[in-house]
Structure 1
Amino acid sequence: MMTNFTLEQKDYIKSTIDGHVYLEACPGSGKTEVVAAKVAKEISNWKKDPSGIGVLSFSNSATDELKDRIGKFSTSNLKFYPHFIGTFDSFIYKYIVSPVAHKITKYAGTHDDYAIRIVESTSSIFIQTKYQYAGRGKLRANHYSYNSDSDTFSFHTGEKRYDQSLDVIKFKHWEKKDLLDTKKRFLKAGFSTYNDIELLAVEILNDVDLTGFSKNLTLRFPVIIIDECQDLGEIQLSILHKLDKFGVKLHFIGDLNQSIYGFRNCEPDNVLEFTKELGFEFYPLTKNHRSVQPIVNLCNTLVAGENVIGRTTSEINHCVVLEYLECPTEVLPTFTRLSKPYNNSVIIARGHSMLNKFNTSATKLNEVQKLALAINLFDIDDFERLEKSITLFSQYLRTLIKESVKPLSFNCPDSIDSPLRWRNFLFNALIFLVEDDLNDSTVSWKVWTGKTKLRIKEILKQSFVDDDIAVVLNSLSDCNIRSPNGLGQEGLGLSLKIVNTTTCSLRKETIHQVKGETHDVSMFVSSAGKQGGVGGNWKEWLDDPTTESARLAYVASSRPKELLIWAVKKLKPKETIQLQDIGFLVMPLD
């Protein structure tokens, strides 16, 4: 726990809570400790009960960590009430939407219970539009949201291209009426999506008839502190703008260069404009206590940032580039050697497709290959491999399920009431398959499919299979498993290019998963080219310091304390010079 605060940190801890404040914190600045100390100080001095301070973050894990840190700066008898420490979503739901939303939606409730039932976009809701759109049929009410402030619709059907097709439609009056009427029926029935909750909050704060409620909310929470403010989206900023007009004072904590949620409409320029419009007082934290200076310098180059002071070092080569010819797994032996002196080494990539190469370098797996890889990856002592195994197995079973599923819950069929029961079934079914040595990657596809075909037909007879799951998977009893075309005599391991588990037992995470973490060594893996998702290739990281691609690289590259490695496709001479000029040593592989 940090107790010897710097002058910059002390300035923020002593800052006023009677005005808008922005704590602009660089990576490794001790932000969480400083915020915890600030909150603990304000809570201990608080004299305005039953009013309280709202301290909001964007994940339960961040909330738990903040509570723990606040406790360490407080006396043993610290009581959080009347203050609120939780997620932004839970605050909006509990204190704005839940008490009065029925007055907006006209939901009649049940026995004076007006609780809203939140449904995901993957759920089967049969409230749908009267007309068809984008040539794909009628729209379910939980597949879109309406923003009354901007008079626009946003779509989240679960299919990116479908969403894009809908986004560009200029709806005619009768189409817009159809969409609005459908959404009203959905809300009136007591349902809501997570997006709807935020939009209902905007409507409530706009409603003249609810002005008294909004003023009372301001009295209840006159100060709101928001951690990771760069993750604020357009609608969330709109909510805060309305709370400001009722008198709430805001503290923003964050680093706009770490804004990497563009897909959720989180734009750092919008946050910056918000702070300028409302006259926030800026408090910078410019000392990085995590990373050595060469890593800090490189990160500043990525986003054209201000001067940040890192840890001093007498060593060289803290920033290294490793080149691969065909597949990133080629760098593993060298990476293993370089990271051996350290305890905490992590492989980072833009997305899961790149990370999957460290389990198998095979691409475009068909269904039987997914099943084989799921069984081969199954390892109850390795959470990452276990999760990947269950995911692949669920993807295979999805082809046998004749109803809609929840993709975010391991493809749990909608008719199964508990995703947990479904997950337990997947786990036990994989154990059943592994017990018959179906994880032997040395055998040929012909031998493996012969054994697997017999074993998989026995699954539904096992005691761990509940009746409703057996009904959904009834076709499992007569499914046919065939070798991939032309590969009958080839070994599974060779065909799937399975990476040796002892070679790559290190953590492998996406950029979004490591945000906020500290590593000893981080290897950031670049795709071979710019094809695919935005921000996956090293050239995109250096193209323009104002883009999200640059910010993605900034977040990933600012995780390590001692050693930053970029793994890139074989460089041309000019590219080698380009990377050397920003501080990298291009090192040959072992």
Structure 2
Amino acid sequence: MSGLTPEQQDVVDAPMVPLCVIACAGSGKTKTAVHRVVRMRHNLGEARGRVALLSFSNVAVDTFREAYDDLASSLPSGAGRSRVDIDTLDGFITTNVIRPHGHRTMKSPRAAFLVTGDEAFLEGFKFPTSSFPQSIKALNLAFLNGKEVFFYMFNDQVVIVDSSVARNLIAKLGRTGAYTHDLGRYWAYRTLKEQPKLLAALSRRYPHIVIDEAQDIGSVHQAILELLIGAGSCVTLIGDPNQGIYEFAGADGKFLIEYHQRAGVLQHSLKRNFRSAPSIVDLANCLCGRDDVAERSAPATPHGAFFTGYKGDQYPQLISSFQGAMSAAGADIKRSAVLCRAKKLAGTLRGDEAPAGQGLVRLFAAAAVLRDRRKDFLKAFQRVAVAVVALLDNAPHGLVSQITQPSNKPDDRELRKVIWAFTRDPATGLPSASLVADAQWHAHLLARIKVLLVNLDTKFGLKRVANLGNKLSKKALPSTPLTSAADLADGGATALRIDTVHKAKGESLDAVLYVTTKEHAQALLGGVATELGRIGYVAATRTRNLLWVAVPHNSLKELRPQLLERGFKEVGLSATPTPAAKSTHDVLLPLPLKATKPQASA
């Protein structure tokens, strides 16, 4: 195995026992995990047991698969190189537990199927709250001191739901065969707990399981893994506790941190950062109290950690100034991002607006905007699928899942193609968002939906509802296009990505602008003891070369001393390095971002 550091090689060569690997940001966890799995598969020889390599995002899984395919060629032809399964942890649970076996525990006559939460039949599945009934898609589960706790999030606060109410509602939904993402984990745990033969068989099939980003293991995931460990599976955890940003789901990194204390578990560490410039690594160490080492040398281009103030009505100027800094630093716009803690703020920065219309028309309108302005064809397709199924008479409960989820059944695949084609084509399918909404766009939508529904009836025997006009009313549509011509024109160009920190987790970016509130900035400066602080740490450690932290202008005076103490430089100002800024490689950007009001034209 070439190209590995000594500490990475130690992990790869470790005995075939459970490992606890604590790794810093940018330490090559993916590379190490794949090499470890190849070595494990080699050591297992002809043994029929499989190795599972699991993570938490499809992007990570794709990276793992590509890397494993490259490395597996080194395995002897008889070493069972194909006996490695790479998936997300939820995908692993779904494939091996929920789909084939979950229906028995759910007491459903049909195979279990995933729902998006927007299906029409879910209107009958709500639980009461102090304000208004909540959809079951909002219901979450955690294990607290070994007990099931049901809750939902309201204004970023955890609200507990009566357990008997929650269980009755979940059981009612389960009898239909349906489950949401969160409830899928609940049913997987129940299934393994109540079907011990299945648990034993799964443990024999997967004697070795390696989990990357293990700080993201929530309390329900942990409960499932504890069952597998108890049944004999050897589980290895690799991750960074300082990046545990799903605390509401019980994923606070504690499972990873304490794992090495168990009998038979060996501990390793990865402390060399291959991603970030030395000044960024110094900042990360200052925030989390580690002493990781930068493997890279400082780039010749401008780089480092900077801060600036902003006013709420001047987001475009802020982003424009950051893009200027990116250009000076040689950052690739495709590998850079503006990151926020909250979805709402990210949406504001992107210029997202609430979709026009009401009911199903609102879904179609949102899909058109997603496709034409955001170029997000997948989300547009999912919304179209939900809306089209709602226009069918007595549609099977799992039809949306059949359309949106991959399937080997010819009829499901053909139906998926029809809905996908309708979504993609603005000429004959979902009308263009550039059309006037209440006149042109709605008229085209109504006509084309009628054609689509006739096609679904002819090909698949799916009947349309009788009151089509009532369900597709143009009420609340504006007398303007759903999105402006300028937005559509910009959509064809490469735009700077604006997203939440959670969405960028695990990525390596050339440049990052982290837009904060006062609370977010204070949490970042406070270190990684809180989840909000860890979210700031994740934002800071995504970048390779350039980090900007934007704080509200009215908080700048108060926060400036703390920012300077941590090693940040103020944008456009010369600064004497502070003791916390150990690196001498920072290069200040000569870009005075003082957010000023545009001058009135003469």
- TM-score of the superposition, structure 2-length normalised? 0.73
- CA deviations on 1:343-379 (whole Å, 9 max, x unpaired) are 2332222234333344439x888769x99x9799777
Decide whether the 8 Å contact of 1:9 with 1:285 is kept in 2. yes
State the shift of 1:465 in Å. Answer: 4.6
Structure 2 CA distance for partners of 1:478 and 1:503, relative to 1, 3 Å? closer
Deviation per CA, 1:504-550: give whole Å up to 9, x if none.
822223212222222222222224x44xxxxxx32232235311111
Cα distance in 2, alignment partners of residues 381 and 137 from structure 1: 33
SS at match of 2:275: strand
Aligned to 1:383, the other structure's residue is in SS state coil
Give the distance between the partners of 2:431 and 2:125, measured in 1 at CA. Answer: 46
Contact 1:118 1:191 in 2 (8 A): yes
Query: How much does 1:320 deviate?
Result: 2.0
1:274-423 superposed matches below 5 A: 274-278=259-263, 280-313=265-298, 317-325=303-311, 326-340=313-327, 341-343=330-332, 344-360=335-351, 383=375
CA contact (8 A) 1:345 1:519 kept: yes
Give ranges in structure 1 of 5+ residues lacking alignment.
439-447, 531-536
Question: Does residue 117 of the first structure (1) align with residue 113 of the second (2)?
Answer: yes
Q: Shift in Å at residue 102 of structure 1? A: 5.8
- Summarize the Cα distance change of 1:106–1:481 in structure 2 as closer, same or farther, 3 Å threshold: closer
The separation in 2 between residues aligned to 1:319 and 1:347, in whole angstroms, is 14
Per the TM alignment, residue 254 of structure 1 is displaced from its structure 2 partner at its CA by: 1.1
How far 1:577 moved relative to its partner? 2.5
Q: State the Cα distance separating 1:243 from its structure 2 match.
A: 2.3
Q: Does structure 2 conserve the Cα–Cα contact (< 8 Å) formed by 1:125 and 1:142?
A: no
**1:564 paired residue number:** 547
Go from structure 1 to structure 2 and tell me whether the alpha carbon gap of 1:420 and 1:294 turns closer, same or farther (over 3 Å shift): farther
Distance (whole Å) between structure 2 residues aligned to residue 481 and residue 138 of structure 1? 24
Asked if 1:87 is matched to 2:88, the reply is: yes
> After superposition, what is the alpha-carbon deviation per residue over 1:86-137, rounded to whole angstroms, capped at 9, x for unaligned?
2222333444455655664555x57xxxx33344444455797899665756
Task: Answer yes or no: is 1:460 the counterpart of 2:461.
Answer: no
2:508 aligns with 518
Task: Provide the residue aligned with 1:69 in structure 2.
Answer: 67
Q: Deviations over 1:275-323 (max 9, x none)?
A: 4345632211111111111111112223333433342227565112233
- Provide the residue aligned with 1:42 in structure 2: 40
What is the rounded CA distance, in whole Å, between the counterparts of 2:114 and 2:433 in structure 1? 42
2:571 pairs with 1:582 = no
Question: CA distance change for structure 1 residues 254 and 377 in 2, over 3 Å: closer, same or farther?
Answer: same
The structure-2 alpha-carbon separation of the partners of 1:476 and 1:270, relative to structure 1 and needing over 3 Å to count, comes to same
Q: Which moved more, 1:41-50 or 1:283-292?
A: 41-50
SS in 2 for 1:320: strand
2:7 aligned with 1:3: no
Shift of residue 69, structure 1, vs aligned partner: 0.6
**Aligned counterpart for 2:211 among listed residues 222, 226, 229:** 226
Deviation at 1:475, TM superposition (A): 4.6
Q: 2-side partners of 1:104 and 1:65: how far apart?
A: 34
Aligned length: 541
Partners of 1:223 and 1:229 in 2: CA distance: 15
Counterpart CA distance in 2 for 1:455 and 1:582 is: 53
Residues 368, 432 of structure 2: 8 Å contact kept: no
- Unaligned 5+ segments in structure 2 are 405-411, 455-462, 572-591, 595-602
Question: Counterpart of 1:550?
Answer: 533
Find the aligned partners of 1:518 and 1:507 in 2 and give their Cα distance.
13
Alignment partners' CA distance in 2, 1:101 and 1:7: 44
2:276·2:294 contact (CA, 8 Å) conserved in 1? no
**In structure 1, how many angstroms separate the alpha carbons of the residues matched to 2:523 and 2:507?**
23
1:233, 1:264 within 8 Å by CA — same for their partners in 2?
yes
Measure, in 2, the Cα distance between the counterparts of 1:526 and 1:45: 48
CA contact (8 A) 1:147 1:199 kept: no
Q: Percent identity?
A: 22
1:273 Cα shift? 3.0
How far apart are residue 193 of structure 1 and its match?
4.2
| TM-score in terms of structure 1 length | 0.74
Partner of 2:407: none
Work out the CA distance in 2 between the residues paired with 1:437 and 1:222.
Answer: 55
* Aligned residues of 2:128 and 2:134 also touching (Cα < 8 A): yes
Amino acid of the structure 2 residue aligned with 1:324: Y
Once the two structures are TM-superposed, the CA of residue 472 in structure 1 deviates from its matched residue by 7.1
After TM superposition, give the deviation of residue 64 of structure 1 in Å: 2.6
Matches within 5 A, 1:141-290: 150-155=146-151, 160=154, 167=160, 169=162, 176=164, 180=167, 183-184=170-171, 186-187=173-174, 190-207=177-194, 210-278=195-263, 280-290=265-275
Q: Residue 24 of structure 2 contacts residue 273 of structure 2 at CA under 8 Å; is this kept in 1?
A: yes
CA distance in 1, matches of 2:564, 2:144: 51
